C-alpha cells in the first residue's frame, strides 16, 4: 500500500506494518506493565520482530512510512508519558539473535535479560561480570545505558556491539560507541541486536559470592518492594544524587501516588496508580531545590519516553 504514511490515518500504517513485518504486533499496547515503575500510557503499536530479517523489514518500513520508532528493552530505566507513545515501540524477543562462544568471548542477544550474561559466563568458567547481579532489564538496555555499579560497568567487558539500522546490520567496535557514565553514543535509531563480551577464566564460586553480597546490599539499601526505575538522577562528580535530595528534605516526600523513597533518596516509588505527571513533579521539585541550595543541575538517568506535556518538561528543566 504505497502512500500509507504516519498520521495520514492510524489504521493505514499499522495495517501496512502488519503486512510487512513477521512477529508480534499489538495495537494500543499498555506500556505501564512493560516498565519497572509501572507508569504511563499505551504505544500505538508494539512490535516484537520474530528474527533479524523481520527487524530489518520493520526498520525499512518505519523509515519509508515516516513512523516514529522508540526502542524499549526491559523498561527498567524508562518513564512512559501518561499520553503514551506515538508510532512504533520496538521490543526484541528474549531469544533474538544467535548466541556463540569462542573461548573467553561470548556473543549474546540484546533482547535477553541481563542475568543471561552471568549465567552464560559462569557456565563457561568465566568471571568479571559481577556488577550485573542486581541490574534489571535486558542486555540491549544495559549496553545503551552502559549499566553498572562500583564493581564495574558494561564498557569494561563489551568489545563489540551489533547494530541494526534501516541500512543493514553489523558489528562495530565498542570503542566507537563513546561509552561513558550511564550512557553511550548509539547512532540515531540504531537497535542493539547482539553484543560480544570478552571475559577471563576464574573462580566462579567466588564470583557468585560477590554477586550475592551485592544483591543482599541492594535489599538493605534500596526500596525493592515497590515499583521503581532505580536511580532517578546520575550522581554528580564527587557526590551522590541521593545525598543531595535528602539534604533538601525530600526523602519520603509524596506527590499523588509517587514518592521519593524513604529508603534511598534517589529512588522514586510508585505507591500504586502513580502517573508520569506525579513522577515528573517529584523530579522537577528535586532539581529545583538542589539547584537553589547547591547550585548543581541534577541530570536525569531515567529515560523519558512518549508524549509529555511541554509544561511538564519545562518544569523539569527549570524553565
Ligand atoms: C531496582 C532497580 C535497580 C537498578 N540498579 C541499577 C544499577 O545498579 N546500575 C545501573 O546502571 N542501572 C540500574 N538500574 C537501571 C536499569 O536497570 C538499567 O539502566 C538497565 O540497563 C536498563 O535496561 P532495560 O533493558 O530495562 O532498558 P530500558 O529501560 O528499556 O531502556 C533504557 C534505554 O536503553 C535503550 N535501549 C534498550 N534496549 C535497546 C536496544 N536493544 N537497542 C538500542 N537501545 C536500546 C532505550 O531506548 C532507552 O533509551 C536499576 C533499575 C531498577 C528498577
DSSP 42-100: EEEEEEEESSHHHHHHHHHHHHHHT--EEE-SSSTTEEE-TT-EEEEEE---TT-S--E
Tell me: pLDDT of 58 over 90: yes
Which of 230, 232, 235, 240 is the pocket-test mutation for ligand 1 (most atoms within 8 Å of CB)? 230
Find the 72 Cα to ligand 1 centroid distance in Å: 9
Please report the domains of the chain, with CATH numbers, ordered by start residue. 10-90 (3.30.43.10), 100-207 (3.30.465.10), 223-317 (3.90.78.10)
Give the per-residue pLDDT at 27: 96
Give the per-residue pLDDT at 319: 76
Q: Is the pTM of this model over 0.85?
A: yes
Closest C-alpha among 252, 257, 254 to residue 242: 252
pLDDT in tens, 247-301: 999 999 999 999 999 999 999 999 999 999 999 999 999 999 999 999 999 999 9
Give the per-residue pLDDT at 91: 98
Reading the block at residue 149, the C-alpha cell is 555499579
Dist. CA 215–CA 169, nearest whole Å: 36
Dist. CA 43–CA 280, nearest whole Å: 20
Residues with C-beta less than 6 Å from any ligand 1 atom: 36, 71-78, 92, 110, 135-138, 140-142, 144-145, 147-149, 182, 186, 191-192, 224, 228-230, 303
Reading the block at residue 66, the C-alpha cell is 515516516
pLDDT in tens, 115-138: 999 999 999 999 999 999 999 999
Tell me: pLDDT of 2 over 50: no
148's enclosing H/E stretch is strand 148-149
Give the N- to C-terminal CA distance of the chain in Å, as an integer. Answer: 44
Sequence-ordered list of residues with C-beta below 8 angstroms from that of 104, at least 6 positions apart, any chain: 124, 126, 198, 199, 200, 201
Give the per-residue pLDDT at 1: 46
Q: Which atom of ligand 1 is nearest to the CA of 136?
A: 17
The contacts found for 4-7 with CB under 8 angstroms, 24 or more apart, are 4/65, 5/65, 5/66, 6/65, 6/66, 6/67, 6/68, 6/87, 7/66
Sequence-ordered list of residues with C-beta below 8 angstroms from that of 220, at least 6 positions apart, any chain: none
Tell me: pLDDT of 56 over 70: yes
Give Dmax (Cα) for the chain: 59
The dihedral formed by the CA atoms of 158, 189, 86 and 64, expressed in degrees to the nearest 10: -140
293's enclosing H/E stretch is helix 276-294
Reading the block at residue 250, the C-alpha cell is 525530600
Which of 108, 147, 191 is the pocket-test mutation for ligand 1 (most atoms within 8 Å of CB)? 147
Amino acid at each position: 500500500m504505497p502512500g500509507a504514511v504516519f498520521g495520514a490515518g492510524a489504521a493505514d500504517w499499522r495495517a501496512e506494518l502488519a503486512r510487512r513485518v513477521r512477529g508480534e504486533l499489538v495495537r494500543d499496547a499498555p506500556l505501564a506493565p512493560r516498565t519497572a515503575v509501572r507508569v504511563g500510557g499505551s504505544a500505538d503499536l508494539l512490535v516484537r520482530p520474530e528474527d533479524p530479517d523481520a527487524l530489518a523489514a520493520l526498520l525499512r518500513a518505519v523509515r519509508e512510512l515516516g513512523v516514529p520508532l522508540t526502542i524499549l528493552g526491559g523498561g527498567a530505566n524508562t518513564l512512559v508519558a501518561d499520553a503514551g507513545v506515538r508510532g512504533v515501540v520496538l521490543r526484541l524477543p528474549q531469544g533474538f539473535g544467535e548466541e556463540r562462544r569462542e573461548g573467553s568471548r561470548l556473543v549474546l542477544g540484546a533482547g535477553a535479560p541481563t542475568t543471561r550474561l552471568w549465567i552464560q559466563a559462569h557456565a563457561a568458567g568465566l568471571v568479571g561480570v559481577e556488577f550485573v547481579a542486581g541490574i534489571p532489564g535486558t542486555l540491549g538496555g544495559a549496553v545503551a545505558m552502559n549499566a553498572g555499579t562500583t564493581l564495574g560497568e558494561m564498557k569494561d567487558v563489551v568489545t563489540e556491539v551489533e547494530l541494526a539500522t534501516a541500512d543493514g546490520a553489523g558489528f562495530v567496535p565498542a570503542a566507537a560507541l563513546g561509552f561513558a557514565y550511564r550512557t553511550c553514543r548509539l547512532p540515531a535509531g540504531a537497535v542493539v541486536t547482539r553484543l560480544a563480551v570478552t571475559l577471563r577464566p576464574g573462580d566462579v564460586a567466588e564470583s557468585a559470592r560477590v554477586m550475592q553480597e551485592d544483591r543482599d546490599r541492594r535489599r538493605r539499601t534500596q526500596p525493592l518492594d515497590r515499583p521503581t526505575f532505580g536511580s532517578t538522577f546520575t550522581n554528580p562528580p564527587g557526590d551522590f544524587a541521593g545525598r543531595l535530595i535528602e539534604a533538601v528534605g525530600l526523602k519520603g516526600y509524596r506527590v499523588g501516588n509517587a514518592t521519593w523513597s524513604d529508603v534511598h533518596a534517589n529512588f522514586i516509588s510508585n505507591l500504586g496508580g502513580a502517573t508520569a505527571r506525579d513522577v515528573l513533579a517529584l523530579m522537577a521539585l528535586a532539581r529545583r531545590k538542589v539547584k537553589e541550595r547547591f547550585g548543581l543541575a541534577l541530570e536525569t538517568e531515567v529515560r523519558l519516553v512518549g508524549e509529555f506535556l511541554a509544561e511538564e518538561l519545562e518544569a523539569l528543566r527549570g524553565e
